[in-house]
Homo-oligomer: A and B are copies of this chain.
Amino acid sequence: MSNVPRAPDADHPPAQASWSRAGNGEGDTTLEENWLFRLRRERFRSRLSGREHDFYVMHLADAVHAIALTPDDQVLLVRQFRAASAHDSLEPPGGLLEPGEDPREAGARELLEETGYAGDPAVFLSTLWSNPSIVTSRTTTIVIRNVHRVAEPKLDHNEEVTVELVAAHDIPRLIQEGRINHALCVAGLLWWLQARPDGTLA
C-alpha cells in the first residue's frame, strides 16, 4: 500500500495536542482573504497552563511536487520566478491541490500543464507539513516514471516556465551547490534519493 497517499502521522496518530482552540472562535480575526489564502489570528488555550495565546495561521491549499523521470533516468525540472526570493527557482513541476483532490492526480496534471510530459501512474512518496508554525499547507511528493513529451505545455497567462532535463545522478550535486534550493522540493528530492542505491550526497 506504499502508493496510497498518507497524511502525516497517519500510522501513528499523535497524542492529543497540548493546545486546543479557545472558546468558539470569538477571539479569532481574519486579517486578509484572497484567491490564494486566508490569513487569520486564532486563539488557542494551553491544556497544561490554561493560558490563551493568539497564533497567526495562513490557510493555504496543500501542494504537490512531481519527480518525473525519463526512461534514460533524467529528471524533469522547471525553472520559474519566485517572488519571495526574487529569483528564478529550479524545482520539480508542481502546484496546489484542488479541495479533495488526490495529490497523484494533481501532480500528473501539473506535470502535463507545465511541461507537456506524461508517464506511468504516479506513485506516492511522502507528505510533510510545509511549515506547521504558520501555514496549514502540506506538501506531497510523488514519482512519475517513463515520462515522454505528449503535448504542448498549457501555462496560465502569468506563468513563464522553462523545462530542464537533468541526469538523476546530478541531483545531489545541484542541491549541494545551492542550484536547487527550495526547501520543500529539497525535502522531497532527498527523501527520494535516500531510497536509491546511489543516492549519497557528497
Contacts and interface: CB of A to CB of B under 8 A. Distances in A.
A182 B87 contact: no
A131 B128 contact: no
A56 B81 contact: no
When all copies of this chain in the complex are counted, the total is 2
A140 B11 CA distance: 29
Interface stretch (A102-110, A113-121, A146-154, A184-192): A184-192
Interface string A47-59: 0110101011110
12 contacts: A18-B80, A18-B81, A34-B56, A58-B84, A82-B132, A87-B132, A129-B183, A131-B183, A175-B191, A183-B183, A187-B187, A190-B191
A194 B201 contact: yes
A88 B132 CA distance: 9
A131 B129 contact: no
Given A12-B178, A158-B53, A186 B128 contact: yes
A166 interface: no
Interface centre among A133, A157, A181 (most CB of B within 10 A): A133
Interface in A58-96: 58, 60, 80-89
A79 to B, nearest CB: 8
Interface of A: 6-12, 14-15, 17-19, 21, 31-32, 34, 36-37, 39, 42, 44, 46, 48-49, 51, 53, 55-58, 60, 80-89, 127-136, 139, 157-158, 160, 172, 175, 177-179, 181-184, 186-187, 190-191, 193-195, 199-201
Given A83-B133, A128-B183, A178 B10 contact: yes
Given A14-B88, A17-B81, A182 B128 contact: yes
Contacts of A130: 131, 183
B181 A9 contact: yes
